[in-house]
Structure 1
Amino acid sequence: MQAVTHSDYLQHTLNNSIHFIGRGLHTGKAVSMTLKPAAANTGYEFCRLDLQPPYNLVPARWLNVSDTRLSTTISNNQGTSVTTVEHLLAALSACGVDNCQIDVDGPEVPIMDGSAKPFVDQILAVGLTPQAAERMAIVIQQPVFVQDGNAQAGFIPFPEPWMDMTIDFNSPLIGKQKMVMPMNPRNFAHNISAARTFGFSEHVGTLKTLGLAEGGALSNAILIDNDEIANPEGLRFEDEFVRHKILDAVGDLALLGVQIVGCFVGERSGHRLNNQLLRSLMYRDRNWTMTTLEDAIVNWEQLTEESINHEAAT
């Protein structure tokens, strides 16, 4: 476990606003988005600049997930939605931003290059400000799993946030890939954030018929065509596909609004199953406890020390 300072126990927001201009992956429309500092205990809240109050505010919460086809969409009680939120939320969460107002002038977050790296780079560049409120954490005490056919997702007890992801595609180019790693800002920035979203050329026609992937291009996604990478630059990582699935999961889990002290285990998991897991977790409150992040870490350290002392004595 990495060394923890007092500041790590406090909530953080951005030092300054950050502006992005891009295009929506599914709508294909130009998007202007600004990340702004927000007060403690705000969480992540989207503000649709193209709409009037009270219809314009969309809190990023697990209960507000309204669609999970190829991306995660959240909606408020008035039916206002924001889609493709997972890459941005993954960047904010993994970089340690607890509170942020997200102003966007349309219904979709810009896809940028198909990864979270453009968001991470700018967040790290402006830096964070600690706030006078403690970070809360959900500590997994008993395993919680959901399953759909041969796909499953779950949490198991663990002393810090970890990710254990396995994917298995019926494509010789991808096949079965697995990655297990601690989820902290450094690991996410260096090993996960640059992994891009991906798709298959044979699905493009169907997606466009459904009104999806209108903004898809080789500049913002990996395209697999006849079991070959169509992108001239190739892959950024040999196992970029499983890394991107971890990125997606980090973003989906960020909708819980607090840190998760435990290990996420995903096998062929996607946006829908990730959200089902959060719903199942919250409805099984005997399997977890809510506490401050400081207490969660201190308690685990005490348990570890007691276990070591017990083993030494025996």
Structure 2
Amino acid sequence: MANVKRQSTLRAPAVCAGIELHGGNHTRMVMHPAPIGYGLRFVRTDVIDRNNQIIVRPDAVTGVKNCTTLANAAGVEVATIEHLMAALSAAGIDNLRIDIDGRELPALDGSSEPFLKLIEQVGVERQEAPRRYVKVIKPVEVRSGDAFARIEPCERLELDVSIEFPDAAIGFQQVEVVPDVRGFRDRLASARTFARLHEVAALQAAGLSKGGSYDNAVVVDGADVLNPGGLRFEDEFVRHKALDLLGDLYLGGPILGRVTTQKSGHGLNHDLLMALYGDPEAWVFTSMPSGDTPHDITPELQVAE
């Protein structure tokens, strides 16, 4: 399938609300259509005493512990953005104002599927301006111990993700996927975030996972999956890691490259992005030739031309 050639936004506002995974508070989020060149911006509607707009870009990242957090120069933050960002990446959304009345996005079911369904319900509007891609022209790699993340030239975005945990319920898993809207919907979108039981108490002691439950996370204890409904996929864990990677990569906009990660997380994903953009010889801006067909014009995703 070809890459999307034009910028896109939503056809109408889309609303969702729910409990924050880490903060435990109830938040409401509204995604608004935005004009050409606007980019992706979060607006903290609960903040009225200083700049409440947070522009989505790699150098706005201020936290990578258990989720990705952005902040502006005034110190206003928005956290756990990666699941929404993954859905926006797959759907090809470039311009959007995202109003939110709290510090963290709602967890919903712990996956990207609710966000993707919202996008599909309101539809996507193609805009009369070319979409700018970052085309990788030289391999870039970052490492931390036995974990690594690498990106190399490719004519489309491809992900090759592997993880390995001592827990028998997880073990070694690997997934390769082209995360266009169809591949994302079928293989990644519904994969939920996960936690290991012995880590949950430590997370909560650190002020995290206050809103975590079996409704928005998979919990494992050794060889056992504790959720009453079990797993959505046998390899749901690595699929969610690929989902997180896609969301983290989209902080820098649409990328053309093959990304391979092993035992990576938000921190190493961010390091890769910063290493890529920090090397001017590793990438160039490009757009799609006018003859290309948008990759996601399908019956399932309404696209207005």
Question: Do residues 291 (structure 1) and 286 (structure 2) align?
Answer: yes
> How much is the aligned-residue C-alpha RMSD, in angstroms?
1.5
Note if contact 2:9-2:125 (Cα within 8 Å) is conserved in structure 1.
yes
- The one of 246, 251, 272 equivalent to 1:250 is 246
Identity over the aligned pairs, expressed in percent?
A: 39
Matching residue of 1:311:
none
Shifted more, 171-180 versus 189-198: the winner is 171-180
Matching residue of 1:280:
275
Aligned residues: 293
Structure having the larger proportion of residues in helix: 1
Shift of 1:225: 2.1
Shift of 1:133: 1.4
Amino acid of the structure 2 residue aligned with 1:177: Q
Amino acid of the structure 2 residue aligned with 1:170: P
Give the whole-Å Cα distance in 1 for the aligned partners of 2:2 and 2:12.
27
Shift of 1:54: 4.2
Shift of 1:227: 2.5
Amino acid of the structure 1 residue aligned with 2:154: F
Matching residue of 1:110:
106
Deviations 1:160-186 (A, max 9, x none): 110010111111111111111212110
Give the whole-Å Cα distance in 2 for the aligned partners of 1:12 and 1:69.
31
Give the whole-Å Cα distance in 1 for the aligned partners of 2:274 and 2:125.
31
Gaps of 5+ in 2: 294-305
Matching residue of 2:264:
269
Aligned to 2:207, the other structure's residue is in SS state: coil
Shift of 1:226: 3.6
- The one of 205, 212, 216 equivalent to 2:212 is 216
Give the whole-Å Cα distance in 1 for the aligned partners of 2:81 and 2:234.
26
Give the whole-Å Cα distance in 2 for the aligned partners of 1:292 and 1:73.
29
Give the whole-Å Cα distance in 2 for the aligned partners of 1:204 and 1:66.
23
Aligned to 1:52, the other structure's residue is in SS state: coil
Aligned to 1:11, the other structure's residue is in SS state: strand
Provide the TM-score with structure 1 as the length reference: 0.91
Question: Do residues 235 (structure 1) and 235 (structure 2) align?
Answer: no
Shift of 1:254: 0.6
Deviations 1:104-137 (A, max 9, x none): 0000000000000000011011111111211011
Q: Which has the higher contact order (CA 8 A, sep 6+)?
A: 2
Deviations 1:239-283 (A, max 9, x none): 0001000000010001002x1111011111100001111110011
Shift of 1:141: 1.1
Shift of 1:88: 0.5
Matching residue of 2:144:
148
Question: Do residues 50 (structure 1) and 11 (structure 2) align?
Answer: no
Matching residue of 2:25:
29
CA 1:75–1:3: 2 relative to 1, 3 Å: closer
